[in-house]
Chain A
Amino acid sequence: MAGIIEKTTVGHGNPFKVNWWVRFAWAAAFLYVIYAANYLDVSWVRFIGGLSNGADFLGEMVPVNFSRWKLLVGNLVETVEIAVIASAFGIVFSLPIGLLAARNMMPPWITWPARVFIALCRSFHPVIFAILFVKAVGFGPLAGILTLIFASIGFIGKLFAEAIEEISLKPVEALRASGAPFISIIMYAVVPQVQNRFIGFSSYQFDANLRNSTMVGIVGAGGIGGTLFAAFQRFDYDFLAAILISIIGLVMVSECISLQIKKVFQ
Chain B
Amino acid sequence: MMSDQNNPVGTHAKRSLKIENLVKEYVPGKPILNGISFEVKGTSSVAIIGASGTGKSTLIRCVNKLIPPTSGNVYVSGENITKLTGKELRRARRKIGMVFQEFNLVERLSVMENVLCGRLGYVAPWRAWMRKYQTEDIDLAFELLESIGLVDFAHQRADSLSGGQRQRVGIARAIMQEPHVLLADEPTSSLDPKTSVEIMELLLGLSESHSLPLLINIHDVELAKRYTGRVIGLANGGIVYDGSPAGLSNENLKEIYGGASWLE
- Listed in ascending order, the chain A residues whose CB lies under 8 Å from chain B are 168, 170-171, 173-181, 183-185, 187-189, 192-193, 195
Given contacts A179-B93, A180-B90, contact A170 B102 (CB under 8 A): yes
B237 at the interface (CB under 8 A from A): no
Beta-carbon contact of B121 and A179 below 8 Å: yes
Query: With a CB–CB cut-off of 8 A, which chain B residues contact A188?
Result: 106, 109, 113, 117, 120, 128
Q: Which of B79-123 contact A (CB under 8 A)?
A: 89-94, 96-98, 100, 102-109, 113, 117-118, 120-121, 123
Contact with B177, one of A168, A179, A183, A195 (Cβ below 8 angstroms): A179
Give bound CA distance, A177 to B107, whole Å: 17
Contact with A187, one of B90, B105, B125, B177 (Cβ below 8 angstroms): B125
Beta-carbon contact of B117 and A192 below 8 Å: no
Beta-carbon contact of A173 and B66 below 8 Å: yes
Beta-carbon contact of B105 and A171 below 8 Å: yes
Given contacts A170-B102, A173-B104, A188-B128, contact A178 B66 (CB under 8 A): no
B73 at the interface (CB under 8 A from A): no
- Listed in ascending order, the chain B residues whose CB lies under 8 Å from chain A are 64, 66, 89-94, 96-98, 100, 102-109, 113, 117-118, 120-121, 123, 125, 128-129, 170, 173-174, 177
Beta-carbon contact of B93 and A170 below 8 Å: no
A251 → B minimal CB distance (Å): 32
Q: Chain A binding site: helix, strand, loop or mixed by DSSP?
A: helix
Given contacts A174-B100, A174-B105, A181-B120, contact A187 B173 (CB under 8 A): no
Give bound CA distance, A43 to B120, whole Å: 67
Beta-carbon contact of A184 and B120 below 8 Å: yes
Given contacts A171-B104, A188-B106, A192-B106, contact A177 B90 (CB under 8 A): no
A38 → B minimal CB distance (Å): 55
Query: With a CB–CB cut-off of 8 A, which chain B residues contact A174?
Result: 98, 100, 104-105, 117, 170, 173
Contact with A177, one of B91, B98, B125 (Cβ below 8 angstroms): B98
Beta-carbon contact of B98 and A178 below 8 Å: yes
Given contacts A188-B120, A189-B106, contact A179 B125 (CB under 8 A): no
